[in-house]
Amino acid sequence: MASNAPVGKPTDMSSPRLPKVAGIDSTVPAPPHTVAPLPGVPSAATPSDAALPPGVLIQDRLASWVSDLTTLHELTERLIKTDSLDGALREMLGAGAALVGARRGMAVLEPADGLGPTSTIGLGLAHADLGTIETVPRGSGSYGRLLDGLPEADLPGAGLPDADPPGAGLPGNSPTPPRRPARVPEPIAIRDVRTEEGLDPRHREVAARLGYAASYALPLATEEAGRLGAAVWLYDEPAEPDERRRHLIGLYGRFATEHLARLLQVERARARVATVAEELLPSRLPRVPGVRLAVRHLTGPQGGGDWYDALPLPEGALGLAVGSVYGTGPSALAAMGRLRASLRAYAVMEGEDPVAVLSDLELLLRLTEPARSATALFAYAEPAQRRIVLAGAGHAPPLVVGDHRTEFVETSLSAPLGMLTCWEAPSVELSPAPGETVLLYTDGLLRRTGDATDRAFARLHAAAASVPRADRSDPGAVADHVLRTLLPGGLDPAVEGEDVVLLAARFE
């Protein structure tokens, strides 16, 4: 065993050494992503460094950097999985609390452009606590100073020309002035609320009531995204994060801000699509004697082309329609609006003949939009006689729900509009009994289940048959029960671009 003993200085020999390369200094510089080692690790300026072997300090520093990078990687991975603003704010609050060593906090989303949305999220704070904090004068609170400390002139592009002046950059002309980046305010640390100078008395009163003694506020702002909001973490005792924690929360905060900016764009796009879709659909359902109506319309993130309509016709009649335009996005919404407006006109002129209405609609679609197809179902109802005449073009059959039956209406098989040179299919007549509800729906209701077509139809039939007897007198309750039973988790996120329309008509 003695022959295997190390020779010389074991520590020096086992210490990692950087290769010597001509022209390259082997000294390891401090990386830009960390400004201080973990607590307990001696720094290069301490006298104890002289007694440490050269490789030990490097290893400890590297271990500290690797630990910080691993922590940031794990936290950002969790943040990037969030797909909503509220979810991202809550995840950011929890991760930030761990990084700065706090227990409670709040995040305020308030984009500087004023276009919204705005919200306030709390961590370890009840809704009443958030309301109490908001009673602090805005100029005294940390988050208020951050939100108001970024003037409009410092936002990206503010006060700068939208385009370069004519001739800018050409020889002999003045160069184009560079655009100034947005100014990002510095974080605000209040080590002790009781002794901090310049605080409003109300601030100290609220802090004493909620039991926090210090705070650290971080702006949710970057040069590219501008100001989106602010986050504040609250300490139970006087404290403030050290330099290392500030650096880590700063890196994480910049990443979180960019992620929030992306989610904000998506949220605004969804809101615009939903607004356009709602404006293209009826604002209210008509009241016609002998029938009660209810509708449920669920829109996916991309916005589909599903639509519905209910319009009074001469002699007490009622026109009911549902349809779907293939495609998603603004173009599908625009086509849906044109198709619905055209069907209303044809229904007023010749609503007694649903086949003629759909034939005219198919001709219009083929002439004006030959590359697009759509499904549609139009029903001409006479509530006084409880008589319905309907025709469908590639559309799912209606479902009749009553005390004594739950069955699909047998309609003829027909191609969607725009698929044939000339569309025409026979109509179907039915007479719902008093108290029965007729359900008209779009294909999205079936596709959103994620099941095969035959199984989706079977599930729809079972959902309608299971409507409680007490709810069958209310068409809205019937529609709600069917949706809850068929789509218990809401719209299936795995099926994109499919809206859901469910129109219920109960005949008295």
Q: Rounded to whole angstroms, how far apart are CA atoms 480 and 300?
A: 18
Domain 281-507 belongs to what topology? Phosphatase 2c; domain 1 (3.60.40)
Domain pair 68-149+183-273 / 281-507, same fold: no
Query: Tens of pLDDT along the chain (508 residues)?
Result: 444 444 444 434 333 443 333 333 333 333 333 334 434 434 444 444 555 566 777 877 788 888 889 999 999 999 999 989 999 999 999 999 999 999 999 999 999 998 889 999 999 999 999 999 999 998 888 888 898 864 433 333 333 333 344 444 444 444 444 444 557 889 999 999 999 988 999 999 999 999 999 999 999 999 888 999 999 999 999 999 999 999 999 999 999 999 999 999 988 887 887 777 778 888 889 999 999 999 999 876 666 788 999 999 999 999 999 999 887 777 888 888 889 999 999 999 998 999 999 999 988 888 888 888 899 999 999 999 999 999 999 889 999 999 999 999 988 778 888 886 666 778 999 999 999 999 999 988 998 888 999 999 999 999 999 999 999 999 999 999 999 999 987 766 556 667 899 999 999 9
Q: Which residues pair with 235 in a beta bridge?
A: 214
Given CA atoms 283, 349, 504, 391 in this order, what sign does their dihedral have? Answer: negative
Q: What residue ranges in 357-442 does DSSP mark as E strands?
A: 374-382, 387-393, 399-401, 406-408, 428-430, 437-441
Kindly list the domain boundaries of the chain, sorted by start residue.
68-149+183-273, 281-507
Phi, psi for 3 (deg, rounded to 5) = -70, -20
User: What is the H or E stretch that residue 70 is in?
Assistant: helix 54-80
Question: Comparing C-alpha atoms, which of 311, 308, 384, 381 is closest to residue 346?
Answer: 311
pTM, rounded to two decimals: 0.64
Q: Rounded to whole angstroms, how far apart are CA atoms 107 and 111?
A: 12
CATH class of domain segment(s) 68-149+183-273: alpha beta
Pairing of strands 119-123, 399-401: unpaired
